[in-house]
Structure 1
Amino acid sequence: MQPQVHSATAATKTALENIAKYNPTINAMITVLADQALARAAQLDALPVQARGPLHGMVINLKDNIDLAGCVTTAASVILKDNVAQHNAFISDRLLEAGAVIIGKSNLHEWVFGPTSQSKHFGPVKNPWDPSRIPGGSSGGSGASVAAEMCTVSIGSDTAGSIRIPSAFNGLAGLRPSVGRISCAGSVGVSPPFDVLGPLGKSVSDVARVFQVIAGYDPADPMSIDRPVPDALSTLNESVRGKRIGFMRRWYFDHISTELQAAIEHALGVYKSLGVEIVEVDLGDVDRAQEMLGFRLILADAFEKHREQLAQRPDDYGADIQMRLAIGGRLSGPDYAQAMRWVEAWRHRLSGLFTQVDAMLCPTTPILPPLRADLEFAQAIRAIPKFTCVYAAAGVPSLALPCGFSAEGLPLSMELAGPAFGEAAILQLGHAFQKVTTYHQQRPMLVS
């Protein structure tokens, strides 16, 4: 993996200019490290070319649930407003060692726990494609900051969809890696068996470059798995002819608009033109994934994590967070056990399917980003992660990427999922799609 030769200082200055221009409207950033980033860029530019890292000068921000030594990690909660990190997260060290410029911390849904990023304490994040709409969550600031060109890549986190939903709503590529592939040490999470960290960027190639740097075993993370990381960059540009993609119309097409259906059908046609075989499959009772993961396991784990603090400082939690935690507190042991048995069976079923196909393709979200004024309608909020829970429950990697635009000019998105630790294959398929389409090259009107 060869470093790119370009000016880190120029890239950093451009990102800071865009933050100054667009962040007052979008509110994507909680912390901006302007002086620190410029000094870092100058140091990188002084290095001889042969000493530069694989991410030389790439401007990256961290979702503000990830530690950067000397910087506050808030998780968008007033409770953590003075929580200065003493050490770098594993992922922060990896980025810095590879030559990245970390420009700051992005806004998010409070406690990494919601799909809208309408923060009670740090203000709502707005969507650069239409500021009257939400950017998705919980990594909403990550998605909005990349779309508004405040950075090249942002590192987000995903428990049930929090990387892929903001990617979908902001017209980006976003990778949820396999559980255990990228260390979560030094980050605030929700449910350890399902939490992951991963990159969001405009291009799959940028996402793949960052993935290659941050993936790897970390003994400090109990969920980390000691397994070799294949070179995803070496296969990125290889032909996908002969690959097999599975697809299920049932259930997915019951919940999406005709224009999203058309975009998905067009994407399947693109893959056919590249020599990929499309295989019709049926995933069985996959419609239960959101109930089992989103409404049981994650809620119960989150309640246990916050139980004591919630009792001591209830007013420091947003109303929506209190509501979700209260539901988690009412779940019984049998409820949790039943959900775990379903997840185990689903993972086993899916592992068998992935011996027949290289990847699965589906819509990322069933709806367009809702208007912020409509957020009191719980139906829309419940709909947002309906599809992303499916592969999160299985712990397998999945990649969201843009596949079209709605009549209103909002991004449409599809998701590619692969077998556990099969990130290289879905990155290859995603990159192949982007090589023959231009959806990822479009810019929001705000920054056009």
Structure 2
Amino acid sequence: MAARSVRLPDIGEGVAEAEVTAWHVKVGDLVREDQPLADVMTDKATVEIPSPVTGKVVALGAEPGTRVPVGSELVRLEVDGEGGSAGIEVAPEIAAAQGAESGRTPAELQPAAEGLEPPQPAPRKEAPPTSPTPAPARPAAAPVRPAVAPPAGPPRAPGEKPIASPAVRRRALEGGIDLRRLRGTGPAGRITHDDLDAYLAAGESEALGQPAGMRPRIGVEEVKVVGLRRRIAENMADAKRRVAHFSYVEEVDVTALEELRGALNARHGESRTRLTLIPFLVRALVRTLPDFPQMNALYDDEASIVLRHEGVHVGIATQTPNGLMVPVLRHAEARDLWDVAAELKRVADAARSGVAARDELSGSTISITSLGALGGIATTPVVNRPEVAIIGVNKQVMRPVWRDGTFVPRLMMNLSSSFDHRVVDGYDAARFIQAIKALLETPTLLFMDA
């Protein structure tokens, strides 16, 4: 048998490390050639590492959530044959892990990895027999006191002090138990150790006579933050720490826009991609951003440079089974309404199914986020750094609106937007959103050149 080391390959240009997000095998498994061994992630792209040979897994190089450099050992396999990689030195940490499972020391494991027999341990000398010493007699076990639940009933009346010995009070204090919530079974209602035992064994709700459905749940589930979820957490924390956020919320009447959207879907819904509100908002951004170039920009705060882009590359915040991703609609300025809708659907589906390429998840210059029907009244989106602006779409609600001396029903929606105050002034942000509002409230302007 020979040892074969499977190392983290060079996943892409400029990638120096990757995070192990999941293992598909465990120590002792037999794996076939091309069978998936592990998932690793870098730059929001998850890559599957296959086995190059058939063999048996003898060691794993990292726990899920660990970042490992390119070229480091991921898996050690035991394969048929001699020579080749059989002489690879066992890493100390892997040898220690193997030793913990087999009960052998790293020194004993090293020759085994090289195809040699481990040194035989020196025979142990038998200790001379000694005369048996009688074991000391154990004291008789104290009788177990049955747990008697305190009588069911409401807590003590206000001002009524519980009666208990100092020892019982000390136990209650150490256990965080409020004695006023117990009724004692001792003389004159004294709370005894048995009452405390029954209270702890039965739980507070049962001891007070409450139904099982109202008993407190004390379980705690430990969930390790790894992979994309950890990357999202790091990016959000970095954005909140480095971006000077401010938000601006504006109410928009989308009655005419929704009538136009419904008419277009009714006419072309079977032959073209169904339109949502987002393609119209993208169209409004394309028409508005030339007058507000500071919004379609990336801020390199380390070099103090703002990069204003002519092309409009819209990031669309998308919820996926693995967490929040931002696939990118590139060159929205060169697409018509249905092309925007089709491309949005394609990149969002790719993100949700986990097949989006790296360039489809990076390079946006401004972002849109929407919770759809769950959008609520207003939100405070987090700027997708290094961008400087993000537009948030909220829920549409039919409301009475005062117009021309009377109330009329109108479909209303809020735009909740956030900006980086380091490079965007509040006055410009308000003018920017007002310009988008004017286009959405008069949707024919979206398709006029003048």
TM-score range relative to shorter protein: under 0.3
Which is helix-richer, 1 or 2? Answer: 1
Normalising by structure 2, we get a TM-score of: 0.20
The one of the two structures with greater contact order (alpha-carbon pairs below 8 A, sep at least 6) is 1
Scaled by the length of structure 1, the TM-score of the pair is 0.20
Task: Say which one has the larger Rg.
Answer: 2
